[in-house]
Amino acid sequence: MSGVELAGPLIGEVGALGVGNLHNKIASKIASSKSLDDNYNSLVKDTEMLLAIKKDKEWEVQRNGHKDTTNAYKLWANRVSNAVEEVQKLKDKYEGKTLPFWHIQKRSRLSEEMQKKCNFVLELMRDECLRDFLVDKPPEPVLKELNVPQISGYPTLQGALEDILGLLKNNKIKVIGVCGTKGVGKTTILRNLNNHEEVAKLFEIVIFMKVTSDNDKLQEKIANRLMLDIEANKEHSSDDVARRIHKELETKKYLLILDEVENVINLEQLGIPSNNNGSKVVIVTRLPMVYKLSKVQRVIKVMELSPEEAWKMFRDTVRAFNPKIDSPDIQPIAKLVCKRCCRLPLLIYKIANSFKLKESAPSWWVGLEDLKPWPQIQNQGLQELYSCLKFCYDELRDKKKQKCFLYTSMYPADCKVYTDYLVECWTAQGLLGDINNKRSYRSARNCGIDILEHLANVSLLEKGEAMIYVNMNDCMRQLALHICSKDPECSFYLQDGEEYENLSNSRAWQQARWVSMRQLIDLPTSQDCSMILTLLLRKSPNLTTIPQAFFENMNGLLLLDLYCSKITKLPPSLSKLTGLRSLFLNSCELLESLSPEIKSLQFLEVLDIRDTKVTFLPLQIRCLTNLRCLRIPFIASDAQNGAQNVDVISKLHRLEELTIQVISYEQWCNDAENVLQHVADLENLTHLRCCFPSSIILGQFLSRSKSWKNCEQQNSFRFFVGCQDSRRPQILESSEYKITSYLRYCNGGQKDDSKITEVFSKADALELVCHKDIKKLSNFVGIVCLERIRCLSIERCNKVLTIVSADTSGNIMNGIQTETRAILPNLEQLYLENLLNLKCAFRGPLHIGTFSKLQILSLKNCPSLNEIFSNGAIQNFCELQKLKIEDCSKIEELIILREDVEGEKEVLPKLEMLLLVNLADLKIMCSNHTLAWSSLELLRIHNCPKLKTLPLHTKNAANLKTIKGQLEWWNELDWTDDVEVYQRLHPIFVASNEYFP
């Protein structure tokens, strides 16, 4: 290199620095140039050390997988990575070409860069963020469940999942219950829910917990899921942990799923906040009592699979390993095996897996035979199920309740067993205690109902609508029969007609305590059956004759049930049943008389001869002085001019329950007054079902009745006034709970009403039919007595103009007439039908509390009706859940709101179901499109041809899940400027020509 090249850069700086500083500058450059190698070595060494530190930290992170690094450390790691890249570039410059010592400028510049980078590396090595760089990890939003069975091919399971998803999107629902028997697939559904993509989008964190009986352990598991460090200090109280859980979740939108809940859950005690940000709690249990006591707002009942679904699951499980299941010789056996699984996914999966390696029909037959006594099978799934069910039984810890449960297994699986009848059977067996002068039949019945409710609440029995009936599923029945087989006191013999056995040659039924035989053709003659306590020969239409001596050796029999058999008479040996407590002959339609031997049944407490041809009143009943419950038809023979032996009734001093089923109504109208005089003499009567030809006769009965006047007695009744007895009133079928006091009042008039007002005050359900004078309910003479009414039906009252109106009362609110008191404050269901002159159903303003509990409103065939809610009346219907309008041809607009009242935009906040059927002139549901349909889930529209628009959009009907209607109607709807709404609603539309879902 020439001297010019060496000195050139230095000479160039003279102008900038001046001659005086040139010497210092040159000396500095020369020093830097000389330090290049040292700076390079230092940089390499320090960088290696920095990388070693970083690697140590990374190793520490790996060893503490439950921890995360601080944000400062993450920034530090990025800076280290960048610094290493820059160091590598400097190394490449240094190593790329040799810089002789006389290249002072280039060497010094590179040396200075290395020195600067070395200082930066040293800074990184001494950074404060390296001290406490590990912190607790934030919890994962969703912990995916592994190996979750798919449910997409099973509508029962998938439907339950979709229902839960719908409730998760409903902002008004906070706590959801999922209920069903053991093994029905609840956990599988919830595991699928946990993994569902929509759930991940709806919530910031999903917490899926299997619940233990220890609340503290559950709280600890929730805290661990939230990555709260409670292990460090074991002295934390549950309140401290609850506060930390509350603090962690109070700002988050969470979903808490609690599986296998066996006891009531106190969410507040666990620390779960009740924030109003859309957070949800799902409580999964097999015990109805859990969700009843855990503030659950909505319950999803998971049912057993359909037979088709059960077979599909069983077949698919086996076929994955063994396609021979489809062979003609194996498939019929496989279907029998599948039937033994009770349509429960848990059993199907376990049993199918135990059969999947069986390749021949004989091996399948052997497996089926081994499967019959399933509590004894050494199969993990079956033992798990049996252990759970046996635990439920043992937990009753009451011999009386346990025997009541076992007795119910006498009836076929899943069949309806009516609760009143079942309690009477229990009572006859002495399972509910003795009936005597000190203890009434009503007391025993109440005890039985209490036990039934308990058995249903602990999931040993399943209750039907309004607790009218219960049933026992196949699994529970197999458990009960297995326990009975081990207990001599509960030994049983069952024959359902499928496996007929010659009773003459069988000793098994003679030695049993409880015997049930169905579909019998004949019975043997006298045999030693002294052990039998219950004999059920129900529903045996081929049983026409009972042998003369059949009951000869059944002196221990307590209950005999011949319901729905074809016998024409009872045998003489009936007299041997001296200990009999209950005799059921109802629906023995060929039975024309009671045999004289019935007089021997001195301990008989229950006699039911409804739907027979036995004429009123059999004289033999006079001797049955212990009768507590009598159900008898009023049917007059052609030979009689009137009711005979009516004085017999008043001789039955212990009678507590009486049903007179009127068949010969015209004759009854002549004899009723006479018969009811004797009924009025009964002092202990607590239940009466009877029809009264007029309100005058009912009024006379009430004034005379000794039991009605007894204020200490709880009276339940079914009175039919001015009409014939009804089998089972429709209004009672629709109630959620059992109605005990019911009145059907037909063809009444204003002058008649006052005679029976005291009945109104005790009624839970009332039907007003063909009233001659009533124009509106609010001036009905009995309205002040209707505060107790929960179900009301008004039908064919053709003078009715409005149901409730404020236009004639004496109270004024803001210058407008209002009702002076709340009307029907406890009413839950209201049915208006065939009211030809009804113009406006509810005309406000209404007093606060009026209709405040109404949940169901139905209007049908009201051809003059043009307005349902008027002048603000709609604001009183805040609890309404179902609204059905049918055959009301003049209605043009369903809901008319006052423009000047802001609060009316939030009306009907709990309406879930809206059914509109055959409304010929309906054009608009509501002209105010700001109305919030916040809870609406189902909209059903049928034959409303003029309805061309829907007042729905993406915000005001967020919870709407289904629109059902005719396809032609849907295609003709006007979606102008509403493309977004159409896109939202079209996927949930279901084409249907049926009236109702």
619-639: per-residue pLDDT in tens? 889 999 999 999 999 987 665
**Distance of alpha carbon 475 from alpha carbon 348, whole angstroms:** 12
**Distance of alpha carbon 124 from alpha carbon 118, whole angstroms:** 10
More confident residue, 711 or 407: 407
pLDDT at 676: 94
**Distance of alpha carbon 213 from alpha carbon 972, whole angstroms:** 57
**Distance of alpha carbon 397 from alpha carbon 984, whole angstroms:** 54
Beta bridge partners of 336: none
| 390-394, Cβ contacts within 8 angstroms, sequence gap of 24 or more | 390/479, 392/458, 392/459, 392/460, 393/460, 393/479, 393/480, 393/483
pLDDT at 697: 93
Q: What percentage of the chain reaches a pLDDT higher than 70?
A: 88
Residue 546 has pLDDT above 70, yes or no: yes
Confidence of residue 68 (pLDDT cuts 50, 70, 90): confident
Confidence of residue 812 (pLDDT cuts 50, 70, 90): very low
CA dihedral 562, 568, 572, 576 (to 10 degrees): 10
Residue 591 has pLDDT above 80, yes or no: yes
pLDDT at 358: 87
**C-alpha R_g of the chain:** 41
pLDDT at 498: 46
Confidence of residue 20 (pLDDT cuts 50, 70, 90): low
Residue 278 has pLDDT above 70, yes or no: yes
The gap from C-alpha 568 to its chain's centroid, in whole angstroms, comes to 46
CA-wise closest residue to 310 among 351, 264, 258, 371: 351
Residue 533 has pLDDT above 70, yes or no: yes
Residue 391 has pLDDT above 90, yes or no: no
Which tokens belong to 658?
């009486």
Residue 617: is the preceding peptide bond cis (ω within 30°)?
Answer: yes
When mean pLDDT is compared over 133-142, 199-208, 497-506, 633-642, the highest value belongs to: 199-208
More confident residue, 305 or 932: 305
pLDDT at 643: 63
**Average pLDDT value for residue range 757-769:** 89
**Average pLDDT value for residue range 489-512:** 68
Least confident of 14-28, 277-291, 898-912: 14-28
**Average pLDDT value for residue range 523-547:** 86
**Distance of alpha carbon 664 from alpha carbon 627, whole angstroms:** 25
CB neighbours of 108 closer than 8 A, spacing ≥ 6? 28, 29, 30, 31, 32, 33, 36
Residue 815 has pLDDT above 60, yes or no: no
Contact 748, 721 (CB under 8 A): yes
Residue 611 has pLDDT above 80, yes or no: yes
Q: Mutual orientation of helices 665-679 and 695-704 as an angle, nearest 10°?
A: 20
pLDDT at 920: 93
Residue 19 has pLDDT above 80, yes or no: no
**Distance of alpha carbon 585 from alpha carbon 356, whole angstroms:** 50
Q: Which residue's entry shows tokens 């194996």? A: 330
Least confident of 381-390, 605-614, 810-819: 810-819
CA-wise closest residue to 916 among 874, 881, 888: 888
pLDDT at 616: 87
Strands 924-926 and 893-895: parallel
Element (H, E) at 636: none
**Distance of alpha carbon 73 from alpha carbon 82, whole angstroms:** 14
**Average pLDDT value for residue range 323-351:** 89
Strands lying side by side in the sheet with 462-463: 417-418, 469-471, 462-463
> Could you read off the pLDDT of 261-271 as tens digits, one per residue?
988 888 899 99
Contact 83, 158 (CB under 8 A): no
Residue 14 has pLDDT above 50, yes or no: no
**Average pLDDT value for residue range 859-871:** 93
Contact 674, 701 (CB under 8 A): no
Least confident of 104-113, 173-182, 461-470: 104-113
Residue 40 has pLDDT above 90, yes or no: no
**Distance of alpha carbon 827 from alpha carbon 197, whole angstroms:** 42
Which tokens belong to 597?
């031997």
The average confidence (pLDDT) of the chain is: 85
Q: Which phi and psi (to 5°) does residue 952 adopt?
A: -120, 145
**Distance of alpha carbon 786 from alpha carbon 823, whole angstroms:** 8
pLDDT at 375: 55
Residue 993 has pLDDT above 90, yes or no: no
**Distance of alpha carbon 103 from alpha carbon 426, whole angstroms:** 113
Residue 872 has pLDDT above 90, yes or no: no
Residue 235 has pLDDT above 70, yes or no: no
- Classify 281 as helix, strand or coil: strand
Element (H, E) at 89: helix 71-96
Task: For the chain, count helices (H), then strands (E).
Answer: 30, 37
Handedness of CA 530, 577, 683, 739 (dihedral sign): positive
Residue 903 has pLDDT above 80, yes or no: no
pLDDT at 734: 72
Strands 462-463 and 469-471: antiparallel
pLDDT at 54: 86
Least confident of 21-25, 256-260, 356-360, 607-611: 21-25
Ranges assigned E (strand) in 503-574: 514-517, 534-536, 559-561
Confidence of residue 500 (pLDDT cuts 50, 70, 90): very low
Which tokens belong to 24?
């210092």
- This prediction has a pTM of 0.80
When mean pLDDT is compared over 84-93, 421-430, 946-955, the highest value belongs to: 421-430
Residue 326 has pLDDT above 60, yes or no: yes
Contact 665, 726 (CB under 8 A): no
When mean pLDDT is compared over 378-392, 417-431, 491-505, 768-782, the highest value belongs to: 417-431
pLDDT at 728: 72
Q: What percentage of the chain reaches a pLDDT higher than 90?
A: 40
Residue 951: is the preceding peptide bond cis (ω within 30°)?
Answer: no
**Average pLDDT value for residue range 956-981:** 86
Residue 744 has pLDDT above 50, yes or no: yes
pLDDT at 503: 53
**Average pLDDT value for residue range 886-904:** 79
When mean pLDDT is compared over 68-72, 274-278, 850-854, the highest value belongs to: 850-854
